[in-house]
Amino acid sequence: MADKRDFYEVLGLKKGASDDEIKKAYRASVKKYHPDLHPDDKECEEKMKEVNEAYECLSDPDKKSRYDQFGHAGVDPSYGGGGFGGFSGFGDMGDIGDIFSSFFGGGFGSSSRSNPNAPRRGQDIQTEVTIDFMEACNGTVKDIKISRMEKCPDCDGSGAAPGAYAETCSECGGSGQVKTAQRTPFGMISSQRPCTRCGGKGTVISNPCPKCKGVGRISVPKTITVNIPAGIDDGMTIRDRGKGHCGINGGPSGNLLVNVNVRPDPFFERDGYDIYTKIPITYSQAVLGASVKVPTIDGSVNMTVPEGTPSGKVFTVKGKGVQKSSRNNNGNQYIERGNQYVTVNVEIPKNLNKTQKELLKKFEESLGENNYNRKSFVDRVKNILKQ
């Protein structure tokens, strides 16, 4: 614990930072240290683990509150995942709660505290992965390295050394609660609070497991294969159920939450499930019309450009956008696709030689007014000049 850096320092924040500030700092740190961007860089890999641990704590309001009060001791797994039966910082609230409980029959204080021996769900693990644009459109599979708390194999999660066992707590007699009596203006008030020796569990381990130090769980490096579905967008999160930290007291495992970053593509742009592209066409293709090849995420397709197409004209290629999952009126799921919108830019020829220029002038002279759609424009200009 003494070797751990302050979580706020890890993310480059000041204590008391807002949720938005924490999230922005985390994303900035991921882009700086993520192993996908720094392959075979052990230092970045270690810093990424440190960043993930800091964000996992500070992004959870309950853990953040405990960390702000007690530091690493408030969230370290060796303290039972944050059970605070032994901390005196809650003493005043416990006294008030016990008095209310005595007078009004509970609903406040110790009666609402959770049973430390009850099964508890494991914590979620948050991490990130960066993929290419085409991988996001078509789907892919990625192997992600994480550190996950798992049941200690040496003690099978009991926390006791081989051959040892948990003993009844001598302080509370195995109840997990210690009764006290206080003199108040109303007389003697009896109350109870979790035992500080056993943390409310009712048992203590005098000979803890050497591998897990009595916690019952150890941190294990794992490589998780994550299926990234087709159509995922930048900033979306994949939830892989049961791949987070293992539970406590037989509780279920948490989830693995993978935030997806998508690298921009030099040719395609995405807006929702539609894709936008720009392609050049020649002057003659715009004037005479042509069939041109247009790249899509599925490969090239032929698109008809009619004669007289102006630069900047947008064409729609239906069904060549990103796929999305929808449901019909009967609740049945089906896949549909967005569209691709293609903007054509007419390339004007440059550096014409003398012969080409003469031919172009003759071509221009051969055209009459009917070949241009500019008569109405000329009339509007004349009307403006008359004003």
Looking at residue 386, its pLDDT comes to: 60
Please give the Cα distance from 359 to 364 (Å, whole number): 9
Q: For residue 110, is it within any domain?
A: no
Residues of 4-26 as b/e, b for ≥16 C-beta within 10 angstroms?
eeebbebbebeeebeeeebbebb
Q: For residue 347, is it within any domain?
A: yes
Looking at residue 87, its pLDDT comes to: 36
- Inform me whether the pLDDT recorded for 186 exceeds 90: no
Please give the Cα distance from 169 to 203 (Å, whole number): 5
All residues at 6 or more sequence positions from 273 whose CB lies less than 8 Å from its CB, including other chains: 231, 321, 322, 323, 324, 337, 338
Number of domains in the chain: 1
Please give the Cα distance from 15 to 234 (Å, whole number): 29
Looking at residue 312, its pLDDT comes to: 95
Q: Which domain holds residue 295?
A: 269-358
Q: For residue 291, is it within any domain?
A: yes
Looking at residue 307, its pLDDT comes to: 92
Q: For residue 329, is it within any domain?
A: yes
Q: What is the largest CA-CA distance in the chain?
A: 114
- Give the rounded percent of residues in the chain with a pLDDT score beyond 70: 81
Q: For residue 108, is it within any domain?
A: no
- The helix (run of H) or strand (run of E) holding residue 225 is strand 217-228
- Inform me whether the pLDDT recorded for 254 exceeds 90: yes
Q: For residue 367, is it within any domain?
A: no
Q: For residue 286, is it within any domain?
A: yes
Looking at residue 89, its pLDDT comes to: 36
For residue range 310-335, list pLDDT tens digits in order. Answer: 999 999 999 999 998 777 777 777 88
For residue range 223-241, list pLDDT tens digits in order. Answer: 999 999 999 999 899 999 9
Better-scored residue on pLDDT, 306 or 171: 306
Give the SS3 label for residue 179: strand
CATH of residue 312: 2.60.260.20
Better-scored residue on pLDDT, 382 or 60: 60
Q: For residue 304, is it within any domain?
A: yes
Band of the pLDDT at 123, cuts 50, 70, 90?
very high
- Inform me whether the pLDDT recorded for 102 exceeds 50: no
